[in-house]
Structures are given as structure tokens and as C-alpha cells.
């Protein structure tokens, strides 16, 4: 019975992640097909000519359309039309707030040069002596940084995820010297949060230093040159 139990748990560990991944992938493909396929002309829909539905057509069309939109907006004409559209949305009271927020989130998350969530660390939370995993976002800027300057002029914006759902959490502004940087990657830290501490990544010594804030020194003002005559 011990061997049967061991074999069963081993099979469950192997088949569980594979089965859930395949199920979620298949559900995503079917969801996209259900939205896109009804919009396709009958002559271009392969389901018209085949006795069975072809999965993935909607996903392929969606990817092709996104590439086309990116290509069209990369030139001057496309950027001009996009600017006109954004100005129209900017005049709508509720829509403009939703659009601007979503646009900023997508630009930050998909930016190739962004530094969001490239480091994981721990801070004392919710009280001294208790520690929680956080993801480092950026240096605190804007009004929050100005208001907190009298307390500490070197603040970090960090995201504290909740367990077992790391997509929800809290935005915290923490002094840089109170953040302990971890060697583990953001993905490994996310697995630790999702598993509620059951999946611990192997420890690899050699902690990286916290990224220093970028400070731009302003050049000294030049005296105006005297004009003869």
C-alpha cells in the first residue's frame, strides 16, 4: 500500500501540472475563437468548408491583427490617427480615466526597457519582527516622493503580493535601507508566495546590491555674456 500511495502521488505530481496547463491553454484558445470566429467572413472561415471546427483560428487571426495594428501605428499616418483618437477619448469624462490607466499599465508591463519587478526582496511587515516578500517596482517619484522627503529622501515603491493569489496585494513606499534584496528571481519568489511557502527555491549565495537611484546633476547657470558697445 505504501508503494501504491507513492506511485499515485508521483503520478499526480507529474500529471496535475500538465493537465491543468493543457486545460487552461485549451480554454483560452476556445474563448478567443468564440469571440473572433463569428466576426470572420464566411468565405475566410475554415469551418465553412470542413465538417469539424478548426481550433486556434481565432488566436491566429488575433495575433495577425495585433501585428497589423502595430505596423500601421509605427508610421506617421498611424500615429496621427492614434493621436486624434486619444484626444477624442480624452474628452470623455469616465472613459479617459479608464483608458489612460490601462494604457500606462500596459506600457509599463510590456516595455522592453522597463525595470518593473526585476528584483524580489523582503521587508518587515505588518509589524517589526515579521517579514514579507515584496517585488521592487521603481524609485518613488512625484508628489508621494516630495511629501515623504522630510522623512526619508530615498524611497522605493514596492508591491506586496497576497497568498495564494499574487495578482492582488498592496503598494507600499519603503525606505531603501529597509529592503533586504533576495537572490531568488521574481518568478521563484512568486512560486513561494503562491505555494504559501511549500515550494522553496534553492538558495544561491551572492546577493545583488539594490539598484541605486538615478540622480541627474543640473549644470550650473552661466552668467549672461556682456555685450560691448
DSSP assignment of 167-185 equals TSEEEEEEEGGG-EE-SS-
Residue 190 has pLDDT above 50, yes or no: yes
Q: What angle do CA 161, 167, 170 make, to 5 degrees?
A: 40
Determine the longest span between alpha carbons in the chain, in angstroms: 107
How many Å apart are CA 207 and CA 197, to the nearest integer? 21
Is the separation of the CB atoms in 204 and 182 below 8 Å? no
Residue 206: strand pairing partners? none
Backbone φ, ψ for residue 45 (5° rounding): -90, 115
- 112: confidence class by pLDDT, cuts 50, 70, 90: low
Residue 56 has pLDDT above 60, yes or no: yes
Q: Which of 127, 120, 131 is nearest to 181 (CA)?
A: 120
CA atoms within 13 A on the CB side of 183: 8
Which CA distances in Å does 74 have to 23, 68, 82, 84? Answer: 36, 10, 10, 15
- 121: confidence class by pLDDT, cuts 50, 70, 90: very high
Lowest mean pLDDT among 55-59, 109-113, 175-179: 109-113
Residue 183 has pLDDT above 50, yes or no: yes
For the chain, what percent of residues have pLDDT higher than 90?
17
- Domain boundaries along the sequence of the chain: 119-194
What's the mean pLDDT in 22-29? Answer: 92
The pLDDT value given to residue 75? 80
The pLDDT value given to residue 214? 43
The pLDDT value given to residue 229? 43
pTM of the model: 0.55
- 132: confidence class by pLDDT, cuts 50, 70, 90: very high
Which CA distances in Å does 7 have to 4, 19, 21, 137? Answer: 5, 17, 22, 43
What's the mean pLDDT in 107-127? Answer: 74
Name the strands in the sheet holding 131-139, side by side, starting at the edge strand that comes first in the sequence: 169-175, 155-161, 131-139, 119-124, 180-181
The C-alpha R_g of the chain, in whole angstroms, comes to 26
Amino acid at each position: 500500500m505504501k508503494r501504491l500511495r507513492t506511485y499515485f502521488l508521483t503520478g499526480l505530481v507529474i500529471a496535475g501540472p500538465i493537465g491543468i496547463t493543457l486545460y487552461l491553454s485549451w480554454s483560452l484558445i476556445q474563448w478567443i475563437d468564440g469571440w473572433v470566429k463569428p466576426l470572420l467572413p464566411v468565405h475566410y472561415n475554415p469551418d465553412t468548408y470542413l465538417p469539424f471546427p478548426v481550433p486556434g483560428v481565432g488566436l491566429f487571426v488575433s495575433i495577425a491583427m495585433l501585428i497589423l495594428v502595430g505596423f500601421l501605428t509605427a508610421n506617421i499616418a498611424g500615429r496621427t490617427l492614434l493621436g486624434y483618437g486619444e484626444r477624442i477619448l480624452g474628452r470623455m469624462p469616465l472613459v479617459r480615466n479608464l483608458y489612460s490607466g490601462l494604457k500606462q499599465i500596459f506600457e509599463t508591463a510590456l516595455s522592453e526597457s522597463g525595470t518593473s519587478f526585476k528584483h524580489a526582496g523582503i521587508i518587515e511587515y505588518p509589524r517589526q519582527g515579521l517579514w514579507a516578500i515584496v517585488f521592487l517596482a521603481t524609485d518613488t517619484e512625484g508628489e508621494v516622493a516630495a511629501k515623504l522627503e522630510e522623512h526619508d529622501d530615498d524611497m522605493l515603491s514596492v508591491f506586496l503580493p497576497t497568498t495564494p493569489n499574487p495578482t492582488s496585494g498592496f503598494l507600499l513606499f519603503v525606505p531603501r535601507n529597509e529592503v533586504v534584496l533576495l537572490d531568488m528571481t521574481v518568478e521563484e519568489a512568486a512560486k513561494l508566495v503562491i505555494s504559501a511557502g511549500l515550494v522553496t527555491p534553492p538558495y544561491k549565495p551572492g546577493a545583488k546590491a539594490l539598484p541605486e537611484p538615478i540622480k541627474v546633476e543640473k549644470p550650473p547657470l552661466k552668467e549672461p555674456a556682456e555685450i560691448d558697445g
